[in-house]
Each structure stands twice: as C-alpha cells, then as structure tokens.
Amino acid sequence: MEYLRQVLLQKVAGFDQLPGSLQVFIPMLLGCLLCLGLVALFPLFAVWLERKVSAHMQDRLGPMRVGGWHGWAQTIADGVKLLLKEDIIPAEADRLLFKLAPIVVFVGGFAAFVVLPFSDQFIVSDLNIGVLYIIAISSLGVVGIIMAGWASNNKYALFGGMRAAAQIVSYEIPTMLAILTVVIPVGSLSMQDIVRAQSGGIFNWFIFQPVTFLAFWVFYIGTLAEVNRTPFDIPEAESELVAGYHTEYSGMRFAFFFLAEYANMFLVSAIGVTLFWGGWQGPTWLPGPIWFILKAMALVFVQMWLRWTLPRLRVDQLMYVSWKVLLPISFILVLAAGILALVTEGHLNE
C-alpha cells in the first residue's frame, strides 16, 4: 500500500510525525478494510446474480419484487433475515469447533485478498511470494470445512467434510502445477510481476499462448472443484447430503459459509485473471481496478453458467478427473513450459 501511504503523507497533516511502523500499518489496515468491504458486498451481488442467471437459464424470472428493479435488494433482505434468525448449536456438537469453523472458512478466503493486484497501485501487500501465499492461505478453508463437518456431530455433515477434504486436496495438485506453468516463464512469485510480464498488448496475456492456454483450463477446472461449485459440488450435494458440511448451521454462521463460498468464487476468478488474463491491464479508457473486477466477474459468470449446465459428478468420476486426466496433463504442461523457457531464454547454448 505504498500508494496509499504517499497519499496519506501528502493529505493528512501530522501523518509524517507518526512512528514509522504506524506509517506502514495504517495504510495497510485501510487497504484490508477496503478488501473486507469488497468481500462483504460482493456476495450480496453474486447471490443475486446467481439467482437471476439460474432463473433465466430455466426460463424463469428469479427475484423480481424486493427493492423495485429486478429484485436487486433480495439478498440484502435475506442477509437481514439470516442475522435475525436463531443461532442453533446441536446439543451433542463440539461447541468450540462448531463456532470456530465458519470463521476459519471465512478467514481462509479473505486473507488471500491481501495479495490480489487490483491495479498497479492498489495491492494491499505485494509479497514477493504472493502466489505461494495464496496457495498456502487458501488451503485453510478446507480445515474449516472439516472442522464444521466433524463438530456438527451429524453423519451427513461428516460425509460432506470428508468429501471436501478428499476433493480439495486432490484438485489442489493440478491447480498448483497449472500455476507453475505461469511462474516458470515469469520467473517470479509476486502477483504484480506476473501481471507486468503480460504487459504490452492483449496477445502478451498468458491465455493467448499455447502452453498457458491449456494450463488455464486445467487451473479453471481445478479451482471449480476447490470452491465446491457444480459439477464438483459433492461436499454439499443437496440431493444426497442435505447440505453437506453446513447442514447443522443456521442464522449468521450459515451466512458466513455462504459469504465464504461466494468470496472464494471471486478469489479464484481473480487469481485466474491475474495469472492468465493480464490482471488489471486493458484499454486505458477504463481504470485498472474496473478491468480487473470485470474480468473476474466474467469468470464468475462462467462458473455460474457451468453450474446450471452440468450435473454433479460421482465420487469415483471426480477422482478420475483429478488424478488420471488433469494431473498428467498438468505435468506435461509444466514440462513444456520448462522447455519453452529454456529455448526462448537461450539457456541451451550455455
């Protein structure tokens, strides 16, 4: 948040007299609050969009009443309703884990927003290991899911938790290998460096280069499974497991799971945009953050589109896709990316 710090130094009187650590901490806190606002507000919009997209794909209308124009306030009303609902904890539940699980799931998704490059200036913290950080911190979500499944003391919840563990851990491997195919040519794990490596016209984006083009689809399928979206939604398969790991949750704790799910949808789409679709770059008649969010929203829309197109996979099919299809393909892609990097950078002659 170097940019925000400069602005504060110029505009706020007495900011330069603060101790040095506070001068770094306060802009970072403001950036985090902005991200928190985005994480809290985006699901409101995304849930509405999901309901509208699903309705129109089924030739229905979806919410039309609340708020006037096409029911735009429906999710706000739903959120208020969830806030006011009774908070039920099952008698035989592990109370501490039960209360902790939604927070862990939410924090896992939210913490990764810190390294999202919304524009060349707006990134809360441009870590030099940004990609690694995202991989590490987003794995926290699965811990929360298993906690929720275990603490509920409900067989369906436990089934959901175990399935989520198996699925997310399996799909993390091809996803990470697909990310590696981008990291190899860039030579850096910093999110901003990856975006800058794609500068100079649309055809420098990694999506338009052969190896990374295939890698993007591996990445996209993998992230689809990691955020439990249909066709990989077996952890919360409503027709067999009631609601999976959040069966026993009600009120605001349930809302937190929902919030985390939609925040994660945006997160994985934003990572995809950063790695493959040129990040915040685009024609200059729109500012960077707008391009970034528009591109991410487009990928979120495709996630919704797929949800209303494909049926749910069986557990064995799910494992087949991950271990026998995506994993070999991503290995080959990493190999190809390595060879390509060697050839283009001329290391073969050394």
Partner 1 sequence: MKRYFLDIIQSIWTVLVGMKITGRHLFTRSCTLQYPSVKWELPERSRMRLFNKIEDCIGCGQCVRACPVDCIYMTTEKRLKEAPPIFAADGTPIKLSVTQFDIDMSLCCYCNLCTYPCPTHCLVMTPEYEFAVNTKQDFLYRFAKDEPLAPVTPSAVTPEPVSAK
Residues that bind partner 1 (CB under 8 A): 53, 55-61, 64, 305-306, 308-310, 325
Displacement of CA 238 from its chain's centroid (Å):
22
Closer to partner 1 by CB, 56 or 155: give it: 56
By CB neighbour count within 10 A (0-12 exposed, 13-18 middle, 19+ buried), where does 86 fall? exposed
Read off φ and ψ for residue 164, nearest 5 degrees. Answer: -60, -40
Closer to partner 1 by CB, 60 or 81: give it: 60
Q: Are 301 and 220 in contact (CB under 8 A)?
A: no
Closer to partner 1 by CB, 208 or 217: give it: 217
Q: How far is CA 55 from CA 58, 212, 229, in A?
A: 5, 34, 17
Closer to partner 1 by CB, 195 or 304: give it: 304
Least Cβ distance, residue 84 to partner 1 (angstroms): 26
Give the tokens for residue 317.
């099919």
Closer to partner 1 by CB, 56 or 314: give it: 56
Closer to partner 1 by CB, 40 or 335: give it: 335
Least Cβ distance, residue 206 to partner 1 (angstroms): 20
Closer to partner 1 by CB, 71 or 79: give it: 71
Displacement of CA 265 from its chain's centroid (Å):
4
Least Cβ distance, residue 56 to partner 1 (angstroms): 5
Q: List the one residue out of 263, 249, 241, 257 whose CA is nearest residue 85.
A: 249
| Number of other CB atoms surrounding residue 121 within 10 Å | 15
| Number of other CB atoms surrounding residue 245 within 10 Å | 33
Closer to partner 1 by CB, 25 or 305: give it: 305
Least Cβ distance, residue 319 to partner 1 (angstroms): 15
Q: List the one residue out of 224, 90, 103 whose CA is nearest residue 158.
A: 90
Least Cβ distance, residue 163 to partner 1 (angstroms): 22
Least Cβ distance, residue 212 to partner 1 (angstroms): 18
Rounded to whole angstroms, the maximal C-alpha distance in the chain is 70
Least Cβ distance, residue 174 to partner 1 (angstroms): 14
> CB-based contacts of 307: which residues, under 8 Å, 6+ apart?
50, 54, 229, 230, 231, 233
Residue identified by tokens 């929902």 is: 258
